[in-house]
Amino acid sequence: MISVRLLFVCAIMALGQGVALRAEVSLLTGSGHPPFTDAAWPQRGMITELIETAFTESPEPEPFRLIWRDDWDRHLDLIRNQTVDMAFPWFQPLCDAPQINDPHCVDFHFSDPVIDLVILLFVRADNEFAFTDDADLAGRILCRPTDVFTQGRAEHDQLWHKIESVTLKQPADPAACFDMLMSGDVDAVAVNEFLGVRQLFEAQLTEDVVPLSRPLSTQSLHVVISKTHWRGTSLMYRFNAGLAKLRESGAYAEIVSRHLATYWARLKG
């Protein structure tokens, strides 16, 4: 392995003067989040495939390699200290909102949204939970599991700023939220649609728990890079331009619908 790598470096250096010694762009992600990023999923996940394809389609494309690490809580530090170049997928805080002074907004460039997730309220089927207006949440107890992509920062959800009388419970495990829902300790579980539906199937709660049709909020997933990276803006431009090309060509829709079909087939199977 060492000799192969050394030969590769030699080959680049031998190109001589004026040719940049360019390393591959390293992209950091982790497993365990089907259908988004998961080493065992087809194409290692929907977002993984979208991001790899976007980089391949980008203007002046750069070679890249994926790095898989499952210690998600370390990912953003590895981006900050530039051990790796870029990471995905991460939620973007509301950087333009005046009340939010989030260090992530200072430290990172966020790409255009790779996908938008709908956050739904999951409630007991036997419990009438009227949710036609955000104000309906006043006085309610909600369970919002800490999410690896937000690093447990539920304050990013716009809603908590609007309705101060909501009580939040935040276990790390989403399954714990559904246990609390069934035992009556919380009124609703707020999670993204994919995670919620998967929990229902895994806990065999598909008859007892239903999602409300009105979304609580949406959250988008992004690629991030340090604002102090020597090619931070140019790598982000390449990615965004590649992603836009995917959306225009229809490749984006094809990739997403293929993974969704697999996801549903596996849930029901």
Of the pair 80, 169, the CB lying nearest other proteins is at: 80
Of the pair 82, 151, the CB lying nearest other proteins is at: 82
- Distance, in Å, from the CA atom of 170 to the CA atom of 176, rounded to the nearest integer, reads 9
The residues in 94-153 that bind other proteins, with binding defined as CB under 8 A, are: 106
Of the pair 59, 269, the CB lying nearest other proteins is at: 59
- Distance, in Å, from the CA atom of 192 to the CA atom of 184, rounded to the nearest integer, reads 21
Residue among 218, 228, 249, 257 that touches other proteins (CB under 8 A): 228
- Distance, in Å, from the CA atom of 195 to the CA atom of 197, rounded to the nearest integer, reads 6
SS3 call for 108: strand
Which x/- pattern over 171-210 shows residues binding other proteins (rule: CB under 8 A)? ----------------------------------------
Of the pair 238, 259, the CB lying nearest other proteins is at: 238
Say whether residue 40 binds other proteins (CB under 8 A).
Answer: no
Residue among 1, 4, 10, 265 that touches other proteins (CB under 8 A): 10
Give the orientation angle of helix 46-56 with respect to helix 251-268, to 10 degrees.
Answer: 160
Write the DSSP string, 17-30: TT---PPPEEEEE-
Amino acid at 5: R
**Two structure tokens written together for 220:** 């988008």
Which x/- pattern over 18-37 shows residues binding other proteins (rule: CB under 8 A)? x-xx----------------
The residues in 230-259 that bind other proteins, with binding defined as CB under 8 A, are: 230-234, 237-238, 240
- Distance, in Å, from the CA atom of 64 to the CA atom of 241, rounded to the nearest integer, reads 16
The residues in 74-103 that bind other proteins, with binding defined as CB under 8 A, are: 82
Q: How far is the CB of 76 from other proteins (least distance, A)?
A: 15
Q: Which stretch binds other proteins (CB under 8 A): 150-158, 161-169, 227-235, 254-262?
A: 227-235
SS3 call for 134: helix
Pair 239, 59: CB distance under 8 Å: no
Q: List the one residue out of 108, 117, 148, 115 whose CA is nearest residue 49.
A: 115
Q: Which stretch binds other proteins (CB under 8 A): 14-22, 90-98, 122-130, 172-180?
A: 14-22
Q: List the one residue out of 192, 168, 55 whose CA is nearest residue 111.
A: 55
- Residue numbers at the binding site for other proteins (CB under 8 A): 2, 6, 10, 13-18, 20-21, 59-60, 82, 106, 226-228, 230-234, 237-238, 240
